[in-house]
Structure 1
């Protein structure tokens, strides 16, 4: 049963966006630090993508085991408990002395950072009025975009100043401050009417995956799109830290600032989705994603091409991502946490596969191999969208 809700205050929308950005940043700090981690822990370039894969395994576990809890528990208390555990995991990464310990704590960071981020997005979607849900989700996702991009910049800058370990100690302090703010400001949540046992809750995700056609189709598109994203960002540090550039971590991380335009795409895509133009947005965003690889191909020879390619990649990818979420959240109002958990499972699988495949492609074929891999995955996303278009239920504007 739909419940009429007042429009969400702008200040609360901003809080959700900022908190989502700070939470997701923890999952992406490692990307511009892969060369330093490789040197510190004697991990080869071909295998160092496993650090990113470990965080993505944590993401997948969070989406299956933690994120769904928001549909049966008070999200406010749940998030505060997760923040405390996340602080412990971040300190653990900073104190790691072996590659095994590093991977274990990276998995924990992926687990808890993802649980916080997706829990906040589901919370925002549940509190939003139906006719503003796309915009609210778009704003939260815009915060995620800015958070993950600034994470690369901040990680590179801090690592250059005082080493990569300081990145994680600093983030632990930021999470402490976030916990204080959320405890004081985040509104209390009414417990849902449905009281499922934990086992029933987890099994119901399988039911959603089996029965929800929108979730199935948009989830596969997300898997391919995020695999393409991960192919690029996981490999970028390797050519830019080598000849002829020899860029520092700060300089490499600064390329992420180009992608802040993706936050604008996220907000606008949510606005269009509220008006029933999600498929139109998907078509042009996926074409832009595919075209970005032509510019990125020349990126190691011309930094201008690299900047243009990053801009196209992030604009297209974030527009697809928000459109996916808006469509999925329109299906079952009382299952937002489970829906976002199921949807982001596709993201996690795609990101993990992309990270491993990317560093392997670079080790064997260089930057051209990375771009061919990314273009192939992007084309498959566009092809899948076109082939499944007639199977998508019609989603009318609110």
Structure 2
């Protein structure tokens, strides 16, 4: 499950270290190529809103496998985009399809929480999320290395084949896990998500925490290749991809964050992660003069993001256990709306202020996240919300 999550999520990040190469190969500007990052995140958010809730309606193994096979089609369209009459349009289409259906990962995360005993659900979510986050980070490295071997499109072709193979493996090993509770019509399932948002204040504040944190980090993700590949450092695609490995250690800490939550340390872990994100942007600003500082900054920013994210997920899954797929859909939709907004803000900030502008934008978003943390702290005890109206 962790491997499948990593592949699904990582597929949306193949383009980030390749933006310069894609721009040159398809004869578009760097800012136009940067649209791919936003397209992937917007389509992923749409999938979260309209597809992930199906996990509370349908048998989850078949749902997961079906979504992954459709995502594989999107990857293959992107991989063969150069052969089509309008290559960049085909690449955008493939990116949108991949993003929409790669939300299979977000069916698997609450499924892991459901399969695990309550006292170890934090570790289960942390383990699966470690796989997901490691996949995101390794995707940049793999994309950069494969680009050096066979051009920017090779990673999409290889990813499409890998997606099919992992989907078939999942079908063989996953247990059948049907929806929990009474079967609801699709329209009612979507409507119940609005009820969850209205009746669960901590779902709102934790979604805001996650969305703002990911928005801040996405400013970095959407501009790092432009800075590292530009005149300041002049790095190649493969070098930029290898630098992405620095964040893997931070992603692996998701499992440790889950263990801290199981020990009742969710509040201090969240606070430390939120404040770490703010402080780290100063380090990232100095990294325009030092690749080493950028590597350290990548590690720290992943620690901050994953600490916040894992704490958020473990809090919201306790709010309404019978509606975990819908709660996850609500949270992750906000999470990736934040990501797409951060990417767009990063592109705008880069256009107007270069790396300094990007760092200012990232810092402002991180400071807004501190305000969201204070709002969450003002709520009653986390478990008090669990007795609210049922989403079903």
Provide the TM-score with structure 2 as the length reference. Answer: 0.94
1:32-47 to structure 2, matched below 5 A, reads: 32-47=17-32
Between 1:38-47 and 1:319-328, the stretch displaced more is 38-47
Match of residue 52 from structure 1? 37
Give the distance between the partners of 2:380 and 2:337, measured in 1 at CA: 23
**Which one of the candidate residues 355, 362, 365 is aligned to 1:377?**
365
Q: Which runs of 5+ in 1 are unaligned?
A: 1-15
1:178 to 153, 160, 166: 166
Judge conservation of contact 2:9–2:105 (CA < 8 Å) in 1.
yes
What's the CA shift string for 1:41-92, capped at 9, x where partnerless? 3332333332111111211111111100011110001111112211211111
| 1:187-202 alignment, distance < 5 Å | 187-202=175-190
Answering whether residue 54 of structure 2 is matched by residue 65 of structure 1, we say no
Deviations 1:78-116 (A, max 9, x none): 111112211211111112243322222211111111x21
Q: Does 1:155 align with 2:136?
A: no
Equivalent in the alignment of 1:88: 73
User: 1:215: which partner in 2?
Assistant: 203
Q: Tell me the TM-score normalised to structure 1 length.
A: 0.92
Distance 1:378 1:262 in 2: 18
Give the 3 Å change call, closer, same or farther, for CA 84–186 of structure 1 in structure 2.
Answer: same
Counterpart mapping for 1:253-332 below 5 A: 253-332=241-320
Structure 1 residue runs of 4 or more that deviate by more than 6 Å after TM superposition: none
Deviation per CA, 1:180-209: give whole Å up to 9, x if none.
211111111244331101111111111111
Corresponding residue of 1:99: 88
C-alpha displacement of 1:169:
0.6
Do 1:45 and 1:359's aligned partners in 2 also have CA atoms closer than 8 Å?
no
Structure 1 residues 142-201: Cα deviation after superposition (integer angstroms, max 9, x where no partner):
111110000000000001110111111100110121022111111112443311011111
Tell me which residue corresponds to 1:10: none
Comparing 199-208 with 32-41, greater Cα deviation is found at 32-41
**2: CA distance between counterparts of 1:392 and 1:262?**
31
Q: CA deviation at 1:392?
A: 4.6
Instruction: Answer with 45-54 or 116-125: which moved more.
Output: 45-54
C-alpha deviation, 1:39, in angstroms: 2.1
After the TM superposition, which of the residue ranges 243-252 and 184-193 deviates more from structure 2?
184-193
Structure 1 Cα separation of the partners of residues 316 and 255 of structure 2: 17
Contact between 1:55 and 1:109, CA under 8 Å: does it hold in 2? yes
Cα deviation code 1:6-25 (max 9, x no counterpart): xxxxxxxxxx2122112111
